[in-house]
Amino acid sequence: MTDQTPAPKFDTLAVHAGATPDPSTGARITPIYQTSSFVFNDADHAASLFGLEAFGNIYTRITNPTQAVLESRIAALEGGTAALAVASGHAAQFLVFHTLMEPGDEFIAGRQLYGGSVNQFNHAYKKFDWNVAWADSTDPASFEAAITDKTRAIFIESIANPGGVIVDIEVIAAVAKKAGIPLIVDNTMASPYLCKPFEFGADIVIHSLTKFIGGHGNSIGGIIVDGGKFDWLGAKHRYKTMVEPNESYNGLVIAETFGDFAFAIACRVMGLRDTGPAIAPMNAFLILNGCETLPLRMARHCENALAVAKHLSQHDKVEWVNYAGLPDNKFYGLHQKICPKGAGAVFTFGVKGGYENGVKFVGNLNLFSHLANIGDTRSLVIHPASTTHRQLTSEQRDLAGAGDDVIRLSIGIEDKVDIIADLDQALAGC
């Protein structure tokens, strides 16, 4: 490749980034390196690996060649400097905050979030004395109002789950920058095909790889992508993991040593190494295969979702439809700004008859699968109030966009005629 060769486009990166034929066998597909550990060349080689003086594989809890290809590919698709793949989206969130936070620290999160994240932030993190303050993702000023001297980060979703809120990443990034703290964006619902948060000022991006990137409902994984722009050494607050001499690495300072990919390294060698939520090589392999068709699938997902949303918006048994791809939706303008290729595949609508008919509607469906996931090739459905968000109070459910009448659809890549026919027959029985 010469200097004149143009940079590969997204669709090409989705297939090729990070991967080369296996040097030992010539295998074109990235192998599944199903091994717990790796042989060292000699004692000096082992010492350099353990001392972070050289990159290489020691133990699959920390690094694995299959995992490494996945990390390189997602970093390339997002436009980041480096990435760390882990066991799940929740594991990715945990490692990000494990790296940023000390006991007593706070972070601000947009309250329009996946219910599992709300639960994790409200309850599990309290055991570490990490405290969340809630803001309104539709009101950037609410984030600025919530900042205190203890605030260490802001967390939002690019497209909120399940409410379908499109978040103005650029404006909230400006709030974070003014405060001297990193902005973390969960980009699961959009995928890098629809939205690249780093282009709008985000500092860290995370995904549940289980969803659209893997895309086939066959594996669990998460990933952290480092944007490489946050100035850890010059930050207003002291992020100890990043800037203080590390005793377990002979006084090495992560931010000084690793520069624009220091955060990804810190999450790996301090968080993943010690807390252990490693991704299985088999899962990394399956997600890599799913990644190759991401642009094709996302285009079809969005095409189908728009057709279904238009149909439901005219149905006499539907109270309302919340899909940012509809021109009369209040987030339509932000959809054009943040994710102009499409408003995603997941949206909500209100079935007339409230909770009772919500449960009945789900039970009437045939083509749709009733399960707690999104981003599959198959069309999926759930009634959040009775499932994913049932641990929340009624007020919290309403604020999260998961009220009693809410149905969440994840529109698959089947023929849209069949998808609509199944919805119609289910609604007829309500």
The DSSP code sequence of 356-383 is: HHHHHHHHH-SSSEESS----SS-EEE-
Question: Is residue 1 situated within a structural domain?
Answer: no
Pairing mode, strands 204-208 and 222-226: antiparallel
pLDDT band per the 50, 70, 90 thresholds, residue 114: confident
Q: Is residue 186 part of a domain?
A: yes
pTM of the model: 0.95
- What does the mean pLDDT of the chain come to? 94
For residue 268, being part of any structural domain is answered with yes
Q: Which of 90-94, 213-217, 349-353, 383-387 has the lowest mean pLDDT?
A: 383-387
The pLDDT, as a whole number, for residue 281 is 98
- Assigned domain for 4 exists: no
Supply the CATH number for residue 327's domain: 3.90.1150.10
Instruction: Return the pLDDT at 3.
Output: 61
232 and 87 in a common domain: yes
Is the domain of 275 the same as that of 199?
yes
Q: Please give the tally of structural domains in the chain.
A: 2
Contact 413, 300 (CB under 8 A): yes
Mean pLDDT of 102-118: 93
Q: In what order do the strands lie in the sheet with 346-351?
A: 318-322, 346-351, 406-410, 380-382, 369-370
Domain end residue (candidates: 260, 290, 320): 290
| pLDDT given for residue 387 in this prediction | 80
Mean pLDDT of all residues in 30-56:
95
Q: Are 283 and 365 within one domain?
A: no
pLDDT of res. 354: 85
As a whole number, mean pLDDT of residues 347-369 equals: 93
Residue 52: is its pLDDT beyond 70?
yes
Whether residue 98 is found in the same domain as residue 192 = yes
Lowest model confidence (mean pLDDT) among 317-321, 352-356, 422-426: 352-356
Domain end among 237, 255, 290? 290
φ/ψ bin of 376: left (φ > 0), alpha (ψ from -120 to 50), beta (otherwise): beta
62 and 99 in a single domain? The answer is yes
Quick one: 156 and 72 in the same domain?
A: yes
Residue 257 shares a structural domain with residue 226: yes
Residue 7 in 3-state DSSP? coil
Q: State how far the alpha carbon of 128 is from the alpha carbons of 19, 153, 224, 399, in Å.
A: 38, 16, 21, 26
Task: Please report, for the domain that includes residue 53, its CATH number.
Answer: 3.40.640.10
Using alpha carbons only, how large is the chain's radius of gyration in Å? 22
Q: Are residues 331 and 249 located together in one domain of the fold?
A: no
Together in a domain, 217 and 261: yes
Q: Give long-range contacts, CB 8 A cutoff, 24+ apart: 168-171.
A: 168/140, 168/334, 168/337, 168/338, 169/195, 169/197, 169/200, 169/201, 169/202, 169/338, 170/200, 170/201, 170/337, 171/140
85 and 207 together in one domain:
yes
* Residue 211 is assigned to a structural domain of this protein: yes
Q: Which domain holds residue 252?
A: 10-290
pLDDT at 1: 45
Tokens 């494990």 locate to 98
Q: What's the pLDDT tens digit per position in 366-414?
A: 999 999 889 999 999 998 877 877 777 778 777 766 788 899 999 999 9
- Does residue 104 sit in the same domain as residue 63? yes
Is residue 38's pLDDT more than 50? yes
167 pLDDT above the threshold of 80: yes
Domain boundary among 290, 324, 339: 290
- Per the domain annotation, does 3 fall within a domain? no
**Does residue 258 lie in a domain region?**
yes
The 10 Å Cβ neighbour count of residue 188 is 27
Express each pLDDT in 219-241 by its tens digit.
999 999 999 999 999 998 889 99
Q: Residue 269 falls within a domain, yes or no?
A: yes
Helix axes 281-291 and 65-78, enclosed angle (nearest 10): 40
Pair (245, 274) in one structural domain = yes
- Which pLDDT band holds residue 186 (cuts at 50, 70, 90)? very high
